[in-house]
A = this chain, B = another copy of it.
Amino acid sequence: MSEHIKFIQGNEVIVEGALYAGLNFFAGYPITPSTEIAEQLSARLPQQGGKFIQMEDEISSMCAIIGASLTGNKVMTATSGPGFSLMQEALGYAIMAEIPCVIVDVQRGGPSTGNPTHVSQGDVMQARWGTHGDHAIVVYTASNHQDLFALTVEAFNVAETYRTPVILLIDEVVGHMREKVVIPAEGDLPLVNRLRTTVKGGVDYHPYLPREDGRLPMSDFGGVHRYNVTGLFHDMWGFPSTNPEVVKGLLRHLIDKICNNVNQIEHHREYYLEDAECVLISYGSSARSALHVVESRRQRGEMLGLLELQTLWPFPYDMVRAKCKNAQFVLVAEMNMGQVLRSVKTAVDDPAKVYLANRVDGEFITGRDIRNILRIIMGKGV
């Protein structure tokens, strides 16, 4: 039906995708360039019987969605760099306590309050390492609205499947850009719903005892079971433990449940890679310019290809290595000082052949910017 075709901003696409996925609780504090997400949900969620709360800051926003998730809701918050920094402590709690939730970071220029109204992709490393201690996390991004819708739904699915926070890390250009998106009909995209325990009320429920498939069924907190939830290392009952075997076992579980499933979690798009001598790797809005360069140079017979990453963490090292195997050189296009570049260099066989095409002045990286770097790498000068 034609009403399912929309011409909206990326921030609104996330709203549509989250509602499609079953979002029914959002807590947040508005911050440029993510504000439209909270704004739209403040109207949409109550209409559908969901809850919207504007909190006093980002710390409380993160804590609110953790609590709401525990009580049985699909939850999300949205922010930008400074707010994301404030969420890091509670984010670690959600990782440790294995609480499904989706956090949107619409990136702007940093560090600090930085360049609020301009584009950047500077939070890639923070999304992985912002909270203290060893851990793992899932981070998705997208370059266009149709993919953004699908990955928003996937973010909720993965959060539920692995009981983990999932970061939806987009940039200001994607967030504010308007383009066509077709909202799929109900049922077109598969949804993963909360796995609830089959243990009956009044019977012992072990909140941190995995089933044989590795998943942890949940019981709505405050419901029929009483159990403990903590940010400390804990045993299968959720009670704190400093027993070395318990500590190591839980830490490895938190990491392995993500990293051992990278093939299930990972998504990407590829263009002209089969015979590419020069592989561009990009993501988010930068990938739009990279694709433009690839397509225009292909018309001149030059063997360029594009690998567009949609999963930044866990980084798909094996996939990237395979795709770059026959490349004479690899060019990573991103709007930061080379944050994905680091991972690509680690992934490929010859790190010396990996170059960076970037822009860090708040302006959008264009095809021209990438072509200028290509010229220099190819020894053609300015």
Contacts and interface: CB of A to CB of B under 8 A. Distances in A.
A325 interface: no
A135 B111 CA distance: 6
A360 B134 contact: yes
A155 to B, nearest CB: 19
A89 B123 CA distance: 13
B358 A382 contact: yes
Main secondary structure of the interface of A (DSSP, over half): mixed
Contact of A132 (B84, B95, B97): B84
Interface in A129-143: 129-135
A193 interface: no
A231 interface: yes
23 contacts: A82-B92, A85-B92, A86-B88, A88-B88, A92-B110, A92-B112, A95-B111, A110-B131, A110-B134, A111-B135, A114-B231, A115-B247, A118-B247, A129-B129, A130-B132, A251-B360, A337-B380, A338-B380, A356-B376, A356-B380, A357-B381, A358-B382, A373-B376
Interface of A: 59, 81-82, 84-86, 88-89, 92-93, 95-97, 107, 109-118, 120, 122-123, 125-126, 128-135, 230-233, 242, 244-245, 247-248, 251-252, 254-255, 260, 263, 300-302, 318, 328, 336-339, 341-342, 345-346, 351-352, 354-363, 373, 376-377, 379-382
Contacts of A97: 112
Contacts of A230: 113
Nearest to A248: B361
Nearest to A297: B260
Given A113-B230, A318-B301, A379-B345, A133 B242 contact: no
B111 A122 contact: no
Given A85-B132, A134-B360, 9 more contacts: A122-B133, A244-B361, A245-B361, A248-B360, A252-B360, A337-B380, A354-B379, A356-B376, A373-B376
Contact of A133 (B110, B352, B361): B110
A230 B232 CA distance: 37
A66 to B, nearest CB: 11
A300 B317 CA distance: 13
Contacts of A128: 125, 129
The 7 closest A-B CB pairs, nearest first, are A110-B133, A112-B231, A81-B132, A356-B381, A111-B133, A244-B361, A358-B381
A128 B132 CA distance: 11
A114 B85 contact: no
B126 A129 contact: yes
A115 B242 contact: yes
Contacts of A116: 232
